[in-house]
Structure 1
Amino acid sequence: MILLRTLLLGILLVFLLPAGLSVLFWELGEHPGSWREADWSSAAIVPAATAEDTAAVYVLAARTGGLKGALSEHSWIVLKPRGAARYERFDKVGWGSPIRRNGYAADGRWYSNTPRVVARLEGEAAERAIPKVRAAIESYPFATRGGYRIFPGPNSNSFVAHVLRAVPDLGAVLPPAAVGRDFPVDGRLVTLDAEARELRASLFGYAGLAIGARSGLELQFLGLVAGIDPFRGLLKVPGFGSLSVFG
């Protein structure tokens, strides 16, 4: 009984309390009432495609809309082959075709929220990675119509996390607030990634953990992530995401 109470108290303090505060702060802010009122225009955070002749790969993420935005982000992938005149953007969405190509500006705001770059490759490294990224997109097992579930996944973040794991050259993991990133799209509940030096375990996205060079130490519960990344000086707080406190 004492162990159960301690566990419940830990869940309350580590996961539910921060998440509740994040919802409160979100509600105090101003947000568009619907997707029609939201700003989806370019945030101008990546170079114009014609400005550089080099190849590029970006992974971007931004807070999503409605109350979900208090706890979750949406992520997507952007490619530009060498010499291309425009970017290609790939999103997994819950409406229409699940993997949408060029549905929005490469660095477009998501429900008026400005995105940020999660991963970036340029030049020769991007040229080598682009075929691998395309292959990972093509191999995503939930790419057909109907292959989307907002929680625990597979969703938009499950798709991008799949690509990041398939292409370790990108050298990144999705932010803690990317709910759905830990859904095991390959069906494996425990994964040891020797190349990325990561051990991951997930109970179908409802609970899990990750430990390694890219994630630090993470505990996951109902899509919320708490943890510490001593390599980058980050504290991971449910709802709030990664906070820089050590560097």
Structure 2
Amino acid sequence: MKVKKSIASILLWMLILGFGLSIANSQATTASADGETRSWRTAPRHSAGIAPDPAQHTDTAIVQVYAAPTYGWRGVFAVHPWIIFKRKGETAFTRYDVVGWRAPDVVQRNYALPDGLWYGSQPALLVDHRGQDIDAMITDIEAAIASYPYASEYQSYPGPNSNTFLAHIGREVPALRLDLPANAIGKDYRPVTRPVGLSSSGTGLQASLWGLLGLTLGLEEGLELNILGLNFGIDLNSPGLRLPFIGRLGLDDTTVTGQAADK
């Protein structure tokens, strides 16, 4: 009993700490260098300098997935993800993400720079695939984008939203090995008519009711419990804790294959 109480206390304090750090980060990203508060119109969206120069990698097919805290107070709770790719021979990336304020056409192509800051928030790299067989993966990704069932729908909570979109691609293209973080609210959104299916990485199983209550077990995700959109779990693939607000606490879980592994 004491052990259970100790574990519960540790998780509670980790949750409080994560919440506090997230608020501090959100406040930092909405303040300019001179202390003035930014609006979404003036928030920086320049390149984060993470994506490779496509012109220097003409002979290489590349797929990358990014996620950054959403703008404003929502960044305390959730991230916004997107996917970029280029085929062998191409000299520019194509970017796809779901942008709610572009409804009814929420699926946007090249809405922003491939690795641009998301309205002031620094993106993190989740997936980096390069080299052989990536052209075939891109074909599958394009088919998944075309088959997204909520292309004219958007609801920030509990979904469908930008995380629902990337989760759909992950399910349709398991080779992507996409492991969305615990604070990717909306990744677990499922209609009541299909409460059971593949996890968002396509490597496991998931039971979820509208993304508000569910359980996921997968090779990439590990074990994750969803309660009202707040996810708690443990990842054994790359050991770490999956937590609300923080997303992940543990070893780096970025999926890297091909030539990117040598850099």
Q: Tell me which amino acid in the other structure corresponds to 2:20.
A: L
| CA distance, structure 2, for counterparts of residue 138 and residue 25 of structure 1 | 38
The total of aligned residue pairs comes to 236
- How far the C-alpha of 1:40 sits from its partner, in A, is 0.6
User: Quick one: which of 136, 139, 146 aligns to 1:131?
Assistant: 139
Does the CA-based 8 Å contact 1:230-1:246 persist in structure 2?
Answer: no
| Residue of structure 2 equivalent to 1:170 | 176
Q: Gapped runs of 5+ residues in structure 1? A: 1-5
Worse-matched range after superposition: 84-93 or 27-36? 27-36
| CA distance, structure 2, for counterparts of residue 174 and residue 213 of structure 1 | 13
User: Quick one: which of 106, 114, 136 aligns to 2:114?
Assistant: 106
- How far the C-alpha of 1:196 sits from its partner, in A, is 4.5
| Residue of structure 1 equivalent to 2:46 | 41
What whole-Å deviation, never above 9, does each CA across 1:8-43 have from its counterpart, x for those lacking one? Answer: x99x94997466435544466352432112111111
Q: SS at 1:135's partner residue?
A: helix
Does the CA-based 8 Å contact 1:162-1:185 persist in structure 2?
Answer: no
Structure 1 residues 127 and 23, CA gap change in structure 2 (3 angstroms): closer
Structure 1 residues 22 and 219, CA gap change in structure 2 (3 angstroms): farther
- How far the C-alpha of 1:129 sits from its partner, in A, is 0.1
Q: SS at 2:101's partner residue?
A: coil
Residue 211 (str. 1) matches residue 217 (str. 2): yes
| Residue of structure 2 equivalent to 1:154 | 160
Q: Gapped runs of 5+ residues in structure 2? A: 32-37, 254-263
Which TM-score applies when normalising by structure 2?
A: 0.81
| CA distance, structure 1, for counterparts of residue 220 and residue 64 of structure 2 | 17
Does the CA-based 8 Å contact 2:100-2:155 persist in structure 1?
Answer: yes
Does the CA-based 8 Å contact 1:18-1:237 persist in structure 2?
Answer: no
| CA distance, structure 1, for counterparts of residue 182 and residue 18 of structure 2 | 12
Between the two proteins, what is the percent identity of the paired residues?
A: 39
Q: SS at 2:55's partner residue?
A: coil
Residue 122 (str. 1) matches residue 148 (str. 2): no
Worse-matched range after superposition: 42-51 or 19-28? 19-28
Does the CA-based 8 Å contact 2:65-2:81 persist in structure 1?
Answer: yes
